[in-house]
């Protein structure tokens, strides 16, 4: 990490009080996750069940009628090109959807509707150095996905991504919601004309975890995390999926007691007598290994997008100490440093990816490296506009809760789909 940072006059890089930061980010996630629940509690439950296939043959993606056209060549571009290294460039065409055309945007990410005044942040797209990254083509994507099933497995950032994808796909076809869990954290949609099933599965650790939250979303005890056991919520459905998008991240920073073989092996910041402190990155590494080993050993073969962690952009404080994110444009390369905690996580991710990628035993593993390009977008978060018109009837200087972690829709996260499509077509 030898990037110069040209932001000496801001306190953007907070290297002190790291443990505090971990805990704060974690709580922030909890709270945001919780409030989500209320918003959707008025949705209607539709209980049709889509029985997925028993495919044991994997992707690489099906050749499709439209894909044989020029598109494929453009998407493939130069195969050596690293699509994750590049810059954000102006895009006057703007987003493919708005709060008016897409009706599934979650309230907390619906920045337009919530009254965010600036709009510059939606006029950028990711542009790799050295090759062209075509805009996500919803029809082409759905052709590739015919008779297939894709699942996003992770935390609320995964849900954020799925919602972006849904909005863009809705230009080609409206999805039918066919399932949601009690807390509206896991959902499933069906695209009828394409026989395509899209799921999001809430599994913030990917592992078996007992999470103690009361009804206010506040934790009443350390999480119990089993580093050698997977979360059955996704494993039980695994054989239904042809494509999975997995990610870990910030939940691993929380206070937790770690188990292996059902025995406590240590904990992270639990301060319990006779319990060894174990760094979160150890747990994270073990978790990723457990997940990737499972995929390798499985009879069922999948195409796996392994998404790296995404940074938050709280400035001059944390989420609960007045931190905010009111920048209105992207950073250029070199203008910002990754925080230590994000660097540690991404390093673990890259190492585990490198270890696994050549030995996937029939499945495919692709690195979906969102960390750096996300770091460059401090302007893409809801900030105070996670709430509807937060300053109405209030002094503008009053502090309201900011969200500098999730992404506005439309917003920078839409570009993630451009990158996903490119990986998909490269096979």
Ligand X SMILES: *[C@@H]1O[C@H](CO)[C@@H](O)[C@H](O)[C@H]1NC(C)=O
Active site residues: 156, 403, 406
CB of 13 or CB of 275, closer to ligand X: 275
Q: Which is nearer to ligand X, 2 or 261 (CB)?
A: 261
d(CA 292, CA 304): 10
Q: Per CB under 6 A, does 404 bind ligand X? A: no
Among the listed residues 91, 173, 260, 335, the single contact to ligand X using CB under 6 A: 260
> Judged by CB under 6 A, does residue 296 bind ligand X?
yes
Say how many C-beta atoms besides its own lie within 10 A of residue 215's C-beta: 7
What tokens does 256 get? Answer: 């937790």
CB 125 within 8 A of CB 91: yes
Interface with ligand X (CB under 6 A), residue from 261, 271, 392, 393: 261
Angle, alpha carbons 147-152-156 (nearest 5°): 150
Contact 108, 382 (CB under 8 A): yes
From the list 216, 80, 241, 270, the residue with the least C-alpha distance to 152 is 241
Which of residues 22 and 353 has its CB atom nearest to ligand X in the complex? 353
By the rule CB under 6 A, 265 interacts with ligand X: yes
CA 396 remoteness from chain centre: 31
User: SS3 string of 183-205?
Assistant: CCCCEEEEEHHHCEEEEEEECCC
**CB 296 to ligand X: min, Å:** 4
Least CB distance to ligand X at residue 329 (A): 9
Closest CA to 170 of 138, 148, 136: 138
> Do residues 370 and 307 make contact, with C-beta atoms less than 8 angstroms apart?
yes
Of 122-130, 322-330, 350-358, 384-392: span binding ligand X (CB under 6 A): 322-330
Rounded to a whole number of angstroms, the CA Rg of the chain reads: 21
Taking CB under 6 A as the criterion, the residue among 2, 8, 9, 70 binding ligand X is 70
220 binds ligand X (CB under 6 A): no
Position among 4, 16, 297, 396 found at the interface with ligand X (CB under 6 A): 297
Residue 287, interface with ligand X (CB under 6 A)?
no
Q: Min. distance of Cβ 100 from ligand X in angstroms?
A: 5
Considering the rule CB under 6 A, would residue 99 count as an interface residue with ligand X? yes
223: Cα within 13 Å, side-chain hemisphere: 24
What is the Cα–Cα distance from 241 to 222, expressed in whole angstroms?
A: 32
The least distance separating ligand X from the CB of residue 402, rounded to whole angstroms, comes to 11
CA-closest candidate to residue 287, choices 260, 319, 265:
260
- Region from 77-85, 186-194, 198-206, 257-265 binding ligand X, contact rule CB under 6 A: 257-265
**Site size with ligand X, rule: CB under 6 A:** 24
69 binds ligand X (CB under 6 A): yes
User: Segment 120-149, which members bind ligand X (CB under 6 A)?
Assistant: 146-147
Q: Which of 394, 262, 242, 259 is nearest to 304 (CA)?
A: 242
CB-side exposure of 215: number of CA atoms within 13 Å? Answer: 1
**Least distance CB 84 / ligand X (angstroms):** 27
Beta bridge partners of 339: none
Are the C-beta atoms of 126 and 86 separated by less than 8 Å? yes
Choose which of 20, 232, 361, 400 interacts with ligand X (CB under 6 A): 361
Structure tokens at 118: 């600036």
Please tell me whether residue 395 binds ligand X under the rule CB under 6 A.
Answer: no
Q: Between 41 and 276, name the residue whose CB sits nearer to ligand X.
A: 276
Nearest to 36 by CA among 231, 204, 243: 204
Of 8, 9, 42, 100, the one binding ligand X (CB under 6 A) is 100
Tell me which of 35, 104, 195, 239 binds ligand X, using CB under 6 A.
Answer: 195
Q: How far is the CB of 93 from ligand X (least distance, A)?
A: 18
Residue number of the CB closest to ligand X reads 53
Bridge partners of residue 23, in order along the sequence: none
Report if residue 112 touches ligand X, rule: CB under 6 A: yes
Report if residue 119 touches ligand X, rule: CB under 6 A. no
Query: What are the residues binding ligand X (CB under 6 A)?
Result: 52-53, 62, 69-70, 99-100, 112-113, 146-147, 195, 260-261, 265, 273-274, 296-297, 299, 326-328, 361
């Amino acid at each position: 990490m030898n990037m110069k940072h040209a932001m000496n006059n801001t306190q953007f890089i907070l290297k002190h009080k790291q443990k505090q930061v971990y805990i704060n980010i974690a709580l922030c996630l909890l709270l945001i996750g919780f409030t989500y629940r209320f918003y959707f509690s008025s949705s209607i439950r539709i209980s049709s069940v889509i029985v997925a296939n028993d495919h044991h043959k994997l992707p690489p993606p099906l050749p499709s009628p439209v894909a044989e056209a020029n598109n494929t060549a453009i998407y493939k571009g130069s195969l050596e090109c690293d699509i994750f290294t590049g810059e954000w460039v102006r895009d006057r065409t703007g987003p493919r959807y708005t709060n008016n055309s897409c009706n599934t945007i979650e309230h907390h990410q619906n920045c337009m509707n919530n009254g965010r005044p600036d709009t510059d942040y939606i006029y950028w797209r990711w542009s790799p150095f050295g090759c062209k990254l075509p805009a996500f083509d919803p029809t082409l994507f759905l052709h590739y996905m015919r008779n297939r099933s894709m699942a996003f497995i992770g935390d609320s950032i995964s849900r954020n991504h799925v919602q972006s994808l849904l909005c863009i796909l809705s230009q080609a076809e409206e999805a039918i919601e066919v399932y949601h869990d009690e807390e509206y954290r896991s959902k499933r949609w069906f695209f009828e004309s394409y026989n395509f099933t899209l799921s999001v599965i809430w599994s913030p650790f990917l592992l078996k975890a007992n999470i103690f939250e009361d009804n206010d979303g506040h934790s009443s005890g350390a999480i119990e995390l089993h580093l050698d056991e997977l979360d059955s919520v996704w494993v039980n459905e695994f054989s239904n999926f042809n494509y999975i998008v997995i990610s870990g991240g910030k939940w691993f920073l929380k206070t937790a007691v770690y188990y292996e073989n059902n025995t406590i092996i240590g904990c992270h910041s639990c301060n319990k007598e006779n319990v060894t402190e174990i760094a979160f990155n150890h747990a994270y590494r073990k978790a990723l290994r457990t997940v990737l080993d499972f995929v390798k050993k499985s009879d069922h073969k999948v195409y796996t997008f392994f998404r790296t962690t995404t940074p938050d952009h709280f400035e001059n404080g944390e989420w609960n100490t007045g931190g905010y994110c009111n920048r209105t444009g992207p950073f250029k390369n070199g203008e910002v440093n990754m925080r230590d905690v994000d660097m540690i996580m991404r390093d673990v991710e890259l190492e585990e990816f490198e270890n696994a990628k050549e030995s996937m035993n029939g499945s495919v593993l692709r690195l979906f490296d969102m960390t750096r390009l996300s770091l460059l977008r401090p302007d893409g978060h809801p900030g105070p506009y996670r709430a509807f018109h937060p300053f109405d009837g209030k002094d503008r200087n009053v502090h309201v809760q900011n969200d500098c972690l999730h992404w506005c829709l439309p917003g920078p996260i839409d570009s993630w789909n451009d990158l996903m499509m490119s990986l998909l077509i490269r096979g």
